[in-house]
Structure 1
Amino acid sequence: MRETTEAIVGAITGSLAAPSSLLLGRYDDHGRLQYTGRTTTLAQAVSSAVAGLLDLARRGHPWTGWSFSAGWGSRETLDVTLVEPELVVEVGVDVARDASGRWRHPARLHRARLDLSPGDVPRMTAPPR
């Protein structure tokens, strides 16, 4: 099963001019931006459109010093560029989540939600056990 929801873009793979995928987050109940998952590889037209909406992260990004796994069970890490966590996107996600509440499968980007701010995005919560 899949659902449509919103998330905040906190980092990208690829370059700022041509992002390959988006690393997504949501704020937790303590106001910290938590990683929730990443998108599938972006098509070239989508990549170009999203690139114009992203800004390189300023000092104090909440994910500074973090590393991100290249895949489920992989020891390889992604080469990411942190971006200002200001862009909200609508994504399609599988309802399967890990114990931390992260999406287990890549999200499919539907569109940028320029009508929403990061504060409008649902909070990250761990799934019930």
Structure 2
Amino acid sequence: MARTSFLRATLFLQTGAVLLQACTAGLLLSSRLAYEVHDAGSKVMYGATLLYLTAAVLAWRTGGASPRHVRYALGFLVLVSAQVVTGVLHVPGVHVPLGAVIFGLSLLTLFRENFQSVRHV
């Protein structure tokens, strides 16, 4: 139970970091300080994704969770890596829609995880 709680917490952290990135991206249009915040937020988002992957692997390998969490976390890592690359290369035509996809998938995964745990209680 503690393993899945940690897994859920890391997924919540990842979703929150992606939401923060979306907010700071909007501020880029009006503030110079937003660039530094968005840049720092990208590092937090990447770290949160790595933490989610670590939690998924630990929960799976110790027998407490399904391996699908590892697949989801690896998928997020690939998407977030592409997001960072497109941001560094200043390709907003890919960066912005990819950010929306990452946020939507992260939210969907978070809700799915919470509703599945409610159904199994």
Give the helix-richer structure, 1 or 2. 2
The alignment's TM-score, normalised by the length of structure 1, stands at 0.25
More strand by share: 1
TM-score (norm: length of structure 2): 0.26
Please say which structure displays the higher CA radius of gyration: 2
